[in-house]
Structures are given as C-alpha cells and as structure tokens.
Amino acid sequence: MAQAFMTEPGQGQDPGRAGSRAGRLLNWWRPEGMWRRGIVLAVLAVLLGLLMILHAQLPNTVGNLGSLLETFLPWLALGIPLLLVFAVLRRSATALVALLLPAVVWVSLFGGLVTDKKGTGGNLTVATHNVDADNPDPTGTAKDIVASGADVVALEELSGTALPKYKEALAKAYPYSTVQGTVGLWSKRPLSDAAPVDIRMGWTRALRATVTAADGQKFAVYVAHLPSVRVKLKAGFTANQRDGSAALLGEAIKAEPLKKVVLLGDLNGTMNDRSLAPVTAQMRSAQGAAGDGFGFTWPAAFPMARIDQIMMKGIDPVSAWTLPATGSDHLPVAASIKI
C-alpha cells in the first residue's frame, strides 16, 4: 500500500510554478531583461559623455552657449550619480555600462584638479580679490587681506567711497601701491612703471606695473577686471563685451617686454571658457598647476565657478588656495610663486 503513495522524481511539483520561474529567468535576457532595460538612460549617459568630450564644438554663435557650458562644465558630473540611481532602480546593465563613458571623460578632464598639487619653496605670495562695490565692510576686508600675509595684492571693483578706507587700512602693510580706475595693486616690494591698460570699457578696469623682487629680479603684474556676464532669456550668455576685452588683454600680455608676468584679477570666466583663450593660451593657472581642488570663488555663499584668476608665465607656481570669505560676493585667492 505504501508504494501507492510513491512518486517518480519530478512528480508532485507545480508545473505552473516551475514554468513561471523559467519564464522569469528567460525574461531577464529578453527585451525586458537587464540588457534591454534602460535604453533611454544609456542614450542619456552617452550624450552626457559626448557633451563633455565635444564641449569645444558647441557653437557660440547662438547666445554664447559654448562659453556658458564651459563656465559650469565640471558640474556636468552631477548627471552621473543621477543617472546611476535611475539605472540601479531600473536594473539596467546597459545603462550602467554606458555610464562609464561620462565617468571616464570627467576624470580625464578634471581628475587632475581634485588632487593636491601644493608644493613648497615659494619666495613670493600674490593675492587677488574682487572686493565688491557694495561691500558693507571695506576696512574689515582690507584687514583680512593684510592677515593673509600676501606680498602683492590686487583689488578689483574699488568704489570711490570705499577706496580711501582700503588705502588707509593697507598703507602700513603695503608701502607701495597704484590705483587705476576701479582696480588697484598694493605691494611690499617696490612698484614702478604703473599705467592703465586699455580694454575698451569706457573707464579703467585694468593696469600694469613692474614689481622688483627681493633679489632684484623684475616681473610684470597685470590686474584686470573684465566686463561682467549675464544669462538672459532672449540674449543668452551676454559675454561679447567681456570677450572683446579679453582679446585686448591678451594682446597687451603678448607684447609685454618682461619675460616674467603675473596676471591677477576677476576675469568673469573660467579656464575652460574658449573665449578667454587670448589670455589662457599663453599663461598657466596657479590653481590648475599647484592648487588643491577646483578653488571655486563665486558666488561666495555657494561657490560654483572660479572666475577670479591668478595666472603667470615665466614663473613657477608653487601652491594656490582660496582665502576665507570677506564682505564681498567673491572669495579672495592667493598663490605662492617662485621668482
């Protein structure tokens, strides 16, 4: 009688349940499976990578879109974790593999900026700061600059009412100075040959001076505040006036007779912006060569772009960093250089 209740192997199983398991397993590899899911996400990942690779090909003819993209180019990285989350939720292997493209491209473009490249051995410290014409505490800002210990300091956006306060607060620490229009240069080392630089603004926003280092070497210092840019609905990225001034500044630096040159100022653009090439193509960024991180400077409350620059040619940057916030909407930046 017991044999009547015995079954052959495989008997007694629910064929419907076994079939559903097999169906799910097969569906994993079919169009509904992990390699066919998330095709749209994969396409978006590839487009993100291509946008990083080909950013220089995006034309500036319509609203200066190319320059606008390049101003905030590092922030395209935010698209990678966003797409990653959706790819995981979608269980899409295709999207995950496609995300390797933008990830690798971003690292190749900006990975070098993330690492600490600061060195030692500098013999002169320079700093630049857009102090903001509406700064509520010019004296406090000047004291912060003095506390930085910089040997040569450039200030931009000096207003007529605040200028006497800056002069008074900086006079003791910096016996040498020159102010041309709304930009100024203060130095612990002797200055000579100070003169405005014409960048066709209608008023002076750039200057050039010669600094004599402790060992007697002379180098040229340019201070510039290029025209502001705006993002407008109809006009797009209004950077044309800035671009024209950048070209004139580049010509002046190219014609500079001294081989050692330092540029300090608010260029209202990043090193990635192709429109600043007349300047950036012939100079090194202190932050890019000897900084630690991106060194974003604007806006001070939540920095998103480095538009305040320290550049040089014929001089080695040793280290570069941002200084603590002042009463300005920009962060000051400094660099140690070796003359």
- Give the domain CATH number at 196: 3.60.10.10
Residue 4 lies in a domain: no
Residue 10 lies in a domain: no
pLDDT (0 to 100) of residue 35: 74
Same domain, 151 and 285: yes
Q: Report whether 277 contacts 66 (CB < 8 A).
A: no
Query: What does pTM read for this prediction?
Result: 0.86
Which residues of the chain carry a pLDDT beneath 50?
Answer: 1-10, 25, 28-29
Same domain, 217 and 321: yes
Same domain, 147 and 228: yes
Last residue of a domain, one of 114, 133, 166: 114
Residue 8 lies in a domain: no
Distance CA(155)–CA(22), nearest Å, equals 72
Residue 186 lies in a domain: yes
Residue 2 lies in a domain: no
Strand 308-313 relative to strand 261-266, pairing? antiparallel
Residue 98 lies in a domain: yes
Same domain, 104 and 157: no
Same domain, 63 and 137: no
Nearest partner of 74 among 269, 305, 322, judged by Cα: 305
Same domain, 314 and 226: yes
Residue 119 lies in a domain: no
Same domain, 91 and 134: no
Same domain, 133 and 228: yes
pLDDT (0 to 100) of residue 24: 56
Nearest partner of 218 among 124, 320, 285, 309, judged by Cα: 124
Residue 174's domain comprises 124-338
pLDDT (0 to 100) of residue 1: 44
Distance CA(15)–CA(31), nearest Å, equals 25
Domain count, the chain: 2
How deeply is 4 buried, as exposed, middle or buried, from its count of CB atoms within 10 A (0-12, 13-18, 19+)? exposed
pLDDT (0 to 100) of residue 245: 96
Same domain, 97 and 172: no
Same domain, 105 and 189: no
CA dihedral sign of residues 171, 177, 179, 185: negative
Same domain, 186 and 148: yes
pLDDT (0 to 100) of residue 202: 78
Residues 191-240: pLDDT tens digits?
999 999 999 877 899 999 999 999 999 999 999 999 988 876 666 677 88
Residue 67 lies in a domain: yes
Q: Rounded to a whole number, what is the distance in angstroms from the first to the last CA of the chain? A: 104
Distance CA(246)–CA(251), nearest Å, equals 9
Same domain, 169 and 108: no
